[in-house]
Structure 1
Amino acid sequence: MASRHIYQQTVDEDVQQNDQNTCPECSGRVTTNSRETVCDDCGLVIAGERIDRGPEWREFDDDSTNSRRAGSPNTVARHDRGIGTEIGWGRDSDDRQLTQEKQRQLYRLRREHRRSKAESTTERNQIQGFVEIRRMTAALGLSQSIRDQGCQLFRTAQDANLLQGRSIEAIATACVYAVCRLNEQPRTFGDTAQVSKMDEERIRHCYRLLNRELDLPVPPAGPEQYLPQIASALDAHHETERRARELLEQADEHCVSNGQNPMGAAAGALYLASRQTGEHLNQDAVADAADVSAVTVRERYRDLQSVATA
């Protein structure tokens, strides 16, 4: 239980789950952070930019003065939390061109400054892990909040000495996968392996390690959580996706999809819904979008069809 306490204290507190509000478009779950309120199911931005984080001045193209006097906001996605110092280029504080000798001197200072940023092996490992997490979350199209939570989980795993003898890239990928599951926006191991430098087996091993040692409160991934991902890949109509969600709810009431691959159940529901709404999605295309076989789609389609006609 101590490891659970560590994770809950260090996880990104910027994200808050608003269970009382629902999306006005699809009645899905709404997530609120410090910047915007977004529906997790359809991606609708309900409210945004409640806090103005921009500068308090205005700049114009014909204004030669540089009014910027503050850096980027603090973030857990960097090992120094974004408060490090950067040495400028080319011009001094009065916007005058530097001499060649002064530019060479600044180049040497930047080089030494870059080397001194990581004072220990721990910080160097954090830099490498955070770079991988930022790259993978961008490739998967995940939000900034999930990126920050992934970096914080990596920091927690490092504090728990889980990186010793293991690949930094594998732990970073497992952190991204775990945070997606924690936010009920799951990605498959195949999806994460496509943007990672590690194979699926090593990602599974590191994820099981994180889940066991940190006692992560990971909810079970249901087929309805994978439904928006498959529908988006197929560019399915919103009515088809809504009908597929209803079929999955009926299947859950009759315990039809218990113990089955959630991706296969979501694919079968979407295929059956497309036939009922007249969209008629191709079976092979649905299987490819869900990364399952066409046989799995047909089997889940028949199971859901028996529930729909009951």
Structure 2
Amino acid sequence: MEELNMSEEKTETETKCKECGYTKFSRDSTKGELICMRCGTMIDINDVDSSPEWRAFDVEQKSKRTRTGAPITFTKHDKGFSTDIGNSSAELYKVPVKKRAQYYRLRKWNKRLTKSKDRNLSYSLS
């Protein structure tokens, strides 16, 4: 962890580390983690809110304030963070043959590299 991204803090509720009981923590602003200064145990993770900003007064402001990416969903085993290489080949007929072969190779390697645990969770939650 870089020293530039860390800030030492003492929490208002006097949270203690579960491992060593220490009360001083360091916050990694890039990862959003709260880490014990004595033993290095990660105490808390702040998830980034990817929802759009609440207030926009015109179309230009709204377009500037929207955030990118699909929303986080708990109905998928990986919260929607995985890359899906589609099952349908219908759209590929418009693509040149070389690109189509590349797509098939990517899909084949994606299936090979996916762990069985992820495949089973994906199947059971779909």
TM-score, scaled relative to structure 1: 0.16
More strand by share: 2
Bigger-Rg structure (1/2): 1
Q: TM-score, normalised by structure 2?
A: 0.35
More helix by share: 1
